[in-house]
């Protein structure tokens, strides 16, 4: 089955009643967890972006706290899982400021984890951190000049801390 284009879907949804639209949304939410999470964001959290970011940071804090740092392999898999989750939440928001704030926090937590992993230096985690920092520079460039300055200061502090350790 080939899915319809966005234009066709928009047209068809415009021809439906309010009750039918509610039923369609609920069916989509029941079908997949991602759809339910997106609907939850749109209905309850999109008005309070700061609260949304704070809740994601708290979730990220918990995820990093339970990572097994005795095994490099398990720690690496856990970090990738956290990164996928963060990127999913960023896609829901589509706010560049939220993206930068979450990725900056992720990099800070990753740097802390990198120092605590058993077996010394982990090149995989270091390379992941380097890629995320490079992506952060690109994301920061898309923000307003005042925000760019503030986030660049935070990022430079993190980079200096990484170099010194």
Check if the beta carbon of residue 129 is closer than 8 Å to that of residue 158: no
Instruction: Tell me the CA distances in angstroms from 109 to 85, 115, 154, one per residue in order.
Output: 14, 10, 14
Binning pLDDT at 50, 70 and 90, where does residue 28 land? confident
Q: Which residue in this structure is represented by tokens 């090149």? A: 123
* pTM score: 0.86
- Distance, C-alpha 133 to centroid of its chain: 14
Binning pLDDT at 50, 70 and 90, where does residue 124 land? confident
What 3-state class would DSSP assign to 4?
coil
Cβ neighbours of residue 129 under 8 Å, at least 6 residues apart? Answer: 107, 110, 111, 114, 162
- On the question of pLDDT at 61 being above 90, the answer is yes
- On the question of pLDDT at 102 being above 60, the answer is yes
d(CA 65, CA 154): 23
Task: Specify the DSSP class assigned to residue 43.
Answer: I
Stretch 52-65: mean pLDDT: 94
């Amino acid at each position: 089955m080939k899915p319809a284009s966005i234009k066709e879907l928009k047209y068809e949804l415009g021809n439906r009643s309010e009750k039918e639209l509610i039923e369609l949304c609920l069916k989509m939410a029941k079908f997949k967890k991602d759809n339910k999470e997106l609907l939850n964001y749109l209905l309850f959290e999109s008005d309070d972006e700061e609260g949304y970011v704070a809740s994601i940071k708290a979730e990220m804090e918990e995820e990093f706290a339970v990572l097994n740092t005795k095994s490099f392999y398990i720690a690496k898999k856990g970090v990738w899982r956290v990164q996928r989750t963060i990127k999913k939440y960023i896609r829901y928001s589509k706010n560049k400021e939220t993206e930068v704030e979450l990725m900056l926090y992720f990099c800070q937590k990753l740097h802390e984890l990198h120092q605590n992993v058993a077996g010394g230096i982990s090149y995989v985690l270091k390379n992941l951190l380097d890629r995320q920092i490079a992506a952060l520079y690109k994301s920061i460039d898309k923000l307003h000049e005042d925000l760019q300055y503030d986030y660049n200061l935070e990022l430079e502090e993190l980079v200096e801390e990484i170099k010194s350790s």
